[in-house]
Amino acid sequence: ALNQFSIAGVIRLTRYVVIATLFFELIGAFILSFRFVPEFGWSTGIFYSVFHSISAFCNAGFDIMGNYQSMTGFAKDPLVNITIMSLIVFGGLGFAVLADFTRTQKIRQWSLHTKLVLSVSLSLILLGAIVVFAIEHNNPDTMGSFTYSEKIIASLFHSITPRTAGFNTIDIASMKMPTRFLTMVLMFIGGSPGSTAGGIKTTTFGMMMLSVIAVFKGTENINFANRRISRDSINKALAVIFISTIWIVIMTFLLIVAESDMQMEEVLFESLSAFGTVGLSMGITPYLNVVGKMIITIMMFFGRLGPLTIVIAISRNKSSKGDLLKYPEGKIIVG
């Protein structure tokens, strides 16, 4: 996922990943301890701080608060919310981006990958937060009773966490349908390559958006940040989206067959959450039958493995005879 093929490169990357992971998780645990230690006592508070710091940075979404409440008990706590959000974001950016941060602070010297990841991630966070705030700010079942600042924090939290983190500070099932739909879209997109997150990845989504813009402009080249994106990268992005979509459609259909007594929205939400290795749910997970749980497990494994891994595994070598033989170009009607 990080394009390292030499032994020296792998060793250097592994060392950086370990150091960066420990750094963020220890800082996160230290900050969370200021809230959890007074709340739960020294031993339990420190354990909770370390556990949830690791869970947030690794975009795991596991919590040990009990009764499936996740972080709802701290929905109005800015310290816990901002810390968890920060860990999720840094964990979801990818180690290649974090390495760029440590290498240089000059934006123009950042790689094209880093610039695209940051542009897409920031856009998704801000637009998602605005939409969540607009829809949920007066919902009495979610954040209707919150203060203005608490609503902003909750909106940001629920714009960030669907991108495969899995925490929630308000009840997912109590959200309005447009918010749940937005959550499903964000779960499908996920985090960035080489990160702890799942989904189709921000770069894949970004390249597809740039491709659409290029079509509207009538230009053949797909450009970003004064660089032309290679056709190979675009083809891989198309393959990732196509394979992911087909996989979700097939597995969701099987899940509907296995869980025929559940609503379509609940099943689709569960499928996308499993594919993106998110962990959010509308509350049906404990009630899935054996077949349903097996389907969700397979989807999570596929989502963690990554669609690009599947693409590479089944693709042929570029030097195959098929690439040496070029047929005359033909035109096909599209749309």
- pLDDT of 318 > 60? The answer is no
Q: Is 225 left (phi over 0), alpha (psi -120 to 50) or beta?
A: left
- Read off the pLDDT of residues 117-173 as tens digits, 9 standing for 90 and up: 999 999 999 999 999 999 999 999 999 889 999 999 999 999 999 987 888 888 888
Which one has a higher pLDDT value, 332 or 143? 143
CB distance 154 to 170 below 8 Å: yes
Q: Which residue, chain included where needed, has tokens 């409440």?
A: 69
Q: How far apart are CA 19 and CA 36, in angstroms?
A: 25
Q: How far apart are CA 151 and CA 81, in angstroms?
A: 12
pLDDT, average across residues 320-332: 72
- Spell out the residues 6+ positions from residue 223 whose beta carbon is closer than 8 angstroms to its own: 210, 214, 229
pLDDT, average across residues 31-44: 93
- Read off the pLDDT of residues 80-119 as tens digits, 9 standing for 90 and up: 999 999 999 999 998 888 888 888 778 888 889 999 999 9
- pLDDT of 317 > 70? The answer is no
- Please choose, from the candidates 178, 204, 154, 152, the residue with its C-alpha nearest in 3D space to the C-alpha of residue 265: 178
CB distance 292 to 255 below 8 Å: yes
What's the confidence (pLDDT) of residue 54? 94
Q: How far apart are CA 58 and CA 286, in angstroms?
A: 24
Give the residues across from 196 on adjacent strands.
none
What's the confidence (pLDDT) of residue 268? 94
What 3-state DSSP class applies to 163? coil
CB distance 203 to 116 below 8 Å: yes
pTM, two decimal places: 0.89
- pLDDT of 253 > 80? The answer is yes
Residue 34's CB is within 10 A of a number of other CB atoms, namely 14
Tell me which of 12-16, 24-28, 131-135, 181-185 is least confident.
12-16
Burial of residue 198, with CB atoms counted within 10 A of its CB: 0-12 exposed, 13-18 middle, 19 or more buried: buried
